[in-house]
Amino acid sequence: MSKNLLNKTLQIYSIYAIIILIVAAPIFYFAIKRLYIKEADDTLLLHKKEFVLYTLPSMQEDLIPTWNRFNRNTQIINDGILKADSIYAASYYDSLDAEIEPYRVLESSITIGNKLYTYRAKTNLVEVEDIIINIVILFLLVIILLLLGLFFLTKNLSVSIWKPFYRTLNAIENFELDKAIVPIFLETEVKEFNRLNNTLQHLIENNLSVYKSQKEFIENAAHELQTPLAVFQSKIDQFMQRNDVTQEQSTLLEGLATSVARLTRLNKNLLLLGKLDSNIYSEKTALSISSLIEKNLNFFTEQAEAKNIEIEFNTIEEGKVLANKALLEMLVNNLFLNAIQHNVEAGNIYIEVGNDYLKVSNTGKAIQLNQAKLFTRFSKINTSEKGNGLGLSIVKKIADLNGWELKYEYENQFHIFLILF
Amino acid sequence: MKLLLIEDEQELGDNIQKLLLDKKYICEWVTTVAEALDKISFYDYDCVLLDLMLQGANGLEVLKELKRQHKLEAVIIISAIETLEARLEGLRMGADDYLTKPFHLSELLARIEALLRRKNFKGNNIVSFNEIIIDVLAKTVCINHKLIDATKKEMDLLLYLIANENRVLSKAAIAEHLSGDMAEMLDNYDFVYAHVKNLKKKMNAAGAGDYIKSVYGLGYKWKNE
């Protein structure tokens, strides 16, 4: 599943923020705690140094009980054991708070009046814990605030920074090569977007000019063919007038005449397909589909009779559309003719016009046709058929030009072409 | 009848001239606008056949000059330009008919005949062939002074055949003539057979001669017995 560019960025930011918080909080807590314990130990050592330097020289054995009485946290203990200086953690019952609290304790041997004593100083860590917790909370608050700020800043900034990008995206989304409307890209403040726009502009202009010259080439080629075709046609006409044409020659002539007629039709349809893109058919009027069909119903009935095809025409509603008359007529006629051409001997055609649809159903070869190929130029399902492979692509093109939907289905032996206006 | 053909495609011009000469028309043929302008300033014609895309010039110049001089020539444009605008522009400038290339020679002939009829017999547009009399305006066909019940298509077919007397008409040419604008869509000419058969039947019943001959593999021919 694809995600919005902005959401993607924000999602990555959020994951990063959560990881940082989870990892940073304990690390920070332990680091602060360590630092504080070290600080407490240093203080104990400093006090001891001061004691040894200033108090010890004047300390006497009989003053020890008095000292111990007035200094709760620095006691001189008479145990007579010589030991190395040591600092450790211990818990003592604090009668003031009535609970057991953590302490750091320093023990060191001192000599008073030639006797060995142990100097034991302790300091309470309770305040330390509180401070650490407070610091950690503060720190986390700052981080959260920072990340939240970052999040919203990115969100707002991205929207405005990416705005030109989305504008460009919209512009090219609406672009269609055969409509020849060049999207307009506005100058932006971001260098990369300008580059993107310039590249796109260049690409589109190039494609348009290639497309245009291709189209012109096809049109010109088709145009240039008209004159030699006219000569060809007139020569055949002249030849036919000879009185000494043998049976064999007339068979050959008939073949030539059929081919030149087919060539002429093909060429005209090519010219037509080329012209559909240009604006000459842009004038639209309100038209009734059923009356357009009725107008040529005689012609098609005549064509159908040659194959004993029965036509049933059903107007449920008149089918009003706003369209170009020439185009709509072409579409209706091509659909109609297609239904006759690809029908079977003694087949049926059923035409139905509704409020916003035209449905042409015909009997024919009993196979579902390949929908992907059906509307492509020159994709004749059966090459032996007489059609030139352009009729349905003209229908499709006209439907596309007008934004109508063209559907094909095969149902109950009927090939159904449905146009939704 | 005197015609001026302006066509720079050698082969096509040659064929059209031959066709018209066969029909006992007088046909002069020029290939440039300058020559055409010369001709029309010195002579009068009944009909001018005008190609539009001539080397280095637009055939419409000739049409403009004709109208400027208030000449009465009927003008048929024969052009490879098949767009609706070109057609409308030609007709707006005073051309009487517009035929797109490629066309059947018989179609050209039928159009010339129809046009000359319109020009020369004002308000009384009648075609007759032996016992057959067709009133084009009233759309009626009389055989041996009796009105026959012919459809519009059958009358068109009759006129087309008579205009091309003694010429072989291919089924394609007839089909295209009968279906007008829809001709481009046709790929099956079987319906021509039905029309010819019906027309023959009606003519027979009315006692007309058997003028419509089938030509093996090619089509039909109108021939005086």
Greater confidence (B58 vs B48) lies with B48
**Residue A23 predicted with pLDDT over 90:** no
* Inter-chain residue contact A226 with B80, CB threshold 8 Å: yes
Q: Of A116, A120, A52, A121, nearest to A81 (Cα)?
A: A116
Q: Which residues of B touch A280 (CB under 8 A)?
A: 83-85
Least confident span in A66-70, A256-260, A347-351, B54-58: B54-58
Of B84, B188, B216, which has the smallest distance from its Cβ to A250's Cβ? B216
Q: Would you say residue A308 has pLDDT above 70? A: yes
Interchain proximity A223–B100, CB inside 8 Å: no
Give yes or no for residue A387 having a pLDDT over 70. no
Instruction: Calculate Rg over the CA atoms of chain B.
Output: 18
Partner B contacted by A296 (CB < 8 A):
yes
How far does CA A260 lie from the centroid of its chain?
51
pLDDT (mean) for B204-210: 91
Q: Degrees (nearest 5) of the Cα angle B64, B66, B69?
A: 105
Q: How far apart are CA B186 and CA A337, in angstroms?
A: 8
The DSSP 8-state label assigned to residue B203 in this structure reads H
Is A231 within 8 Å of chain B by CB? Answer: yes
**CB contacts < 8 Å between A and B, how many?**
120
Tell me, what's the pLDDT at A180?
A: 65
Across the interface, of B81, B83, B218, the residue whose CB is closest to A240 is B218
pLDDT tens string B122-132: 667 888 898 99
pLDDT of residue B37: 92
The reported pLDDT for the residue numbered A175 is: 83
Torsion of CA A348, A353, A354, A360, to 10 degrees: 50
Cβ <8 Å between B102 and A229? yes
- Is the Cβ of A247 closer than 8 Å to some Cβ of chain B? yes
Q: Is the pLDDT of residue A295 over 90?
A: no
- pTM comes to 0.68
Q: Per the CB < 8 Å rule, is A237 touching B173?
A: yes
Mean pLDDT of A346-361: 91
Distance CA A394, CA A1 (A): 37
Substitution target in B185, B220, B221 with the highest count of A β-carbons within 10 Å is: B185
Phi and psi at B65, nearest 5°, equal: -65, -40
Residue A181's alpha-carbon distances to A171, A279, A294, A377, B79, in angstroms, are: 10, 12, 37, 24, 32
Mean pLDDT (chain A, rounded): 84
Distance set, CA A64 to CA A47, A56, A110, A117, B153 (Å): 17, 11, 12, 10, 144
Residue A385 has pLDDT above 80, yes or no: no
Which of residues 106 through 145 in chain B touch A, CB cutoff 8 A?
A: 106
| Residues of chain B with C-beta less than 8 angstroms from the C-beta of A231 | 9, 11-12, 15, 102
Residues in B touching A236 (Cβ below 8 Å):
170
- Alpha-carbon torsion, ordered A303, A304, A308, A312, to 10 deg: -150
> Is B81 touching A (CB cutoff 8 A)?
yes
Of A262, A275, A333, the CB nearest to B185: A333
Q: Do B215 and A250 touch (CB under 8 A)?
A: yes
Chain B residues in contact with A223 (beta carbon < 8 A):
80-81
Per-residue pLDDT at A305 exceeds 90: no
Comparing A198-202, A250-254, A379-383, the range with the smallest average pLDDT is A379-383
- Give the gap in angstroms from C-alpha B182 to the nearest C-alpha of chain A: 8
Token pair in block for residue A20? 């940082």
Kindly state the average pLDDT of the residues A18-37. 84
**pLDDT, chain B, mean:** 89
For residue B110, give the nearest of B214, B29, B222 by alpha carbon: B222
Q: Which of B12, B15, B187 to mutate to test the interface with A (most CBs of A within 10 A)?
A: B187
Residue A384: its pLDDT value, please? 47
How high is the pLDDT of residue A413?
87
Q: What is the pLDDT of residue A381?
A: 56
| Mean pLDDT, range B181-206, rounded to an integer | 85
Task: Give the CA distances from residue B196 to residues A192, A258, A326, B107, in Å, rounded to whole numbers and listed in that order.
Answer: 74, 20, 31, 17
Confidence of residue B171 (pLDDT cuts 50, 70, 90): confident
- Give per-residue pLDDT as tens, A120-130: 888 888 766 77
Q: What is the Cα–Cα distance from B222 to A88, expressed in whole angstroms? A: 133
A32-51 pLDDT per residue, tens = 888 888 988 999 999 889 98
Task: Work out the percent of chain A whose per-residue pLDDT is above 90.
Answer: 10
- Across the range A186-202, mean pLDDT stands at 89
Please judge whether B216 and A387 are an interchain contact, meaning their C-beta atoms are less than 8 angstroms apart.
no
**What pLDDT score does A61 carry?**
83
d(CA A47, CA A379): 101
Q: ipTM strictly over 0.90?
A: no
pLDDT at A116 over 50: yes
The CA distance from B25 to the nearest CA of chain A, in Å, is: 17
Predicted pLDDT at A128: 67
pLDDT of A80 > 80? The answer is no
Residue of A nearest to B188 (CA): A303
Residue in B with minimal Cα distance to A265: B184
Nearest CB to B12 within list A230, A240, A262:
A230
- In the three-class reduction of DSSP (H, G, I as helix; E, B as strand; rest coil), residue A27 is classed as helix
Evaluate the CA torsion angle B151, B157, B160, B161 in order and state its sign: negative
Q: What is the pLDDT of residue B212?
A: 94
The answer to whether B187 contacts chain A (CB < 8 Å) is yes
Contact by Cβ (8 Å): A91, A101 = yes
Supply the DSSP symbol for A52. I
Instruction: Judge whether B217 is closer than 8 Å to chain A, CB to CB.
Output: yes
Residues B71-76 have a mean pLDDT of 90
When pLDDT is cut at 50, 70 and 90, the band that residue B65 belongs to is very high
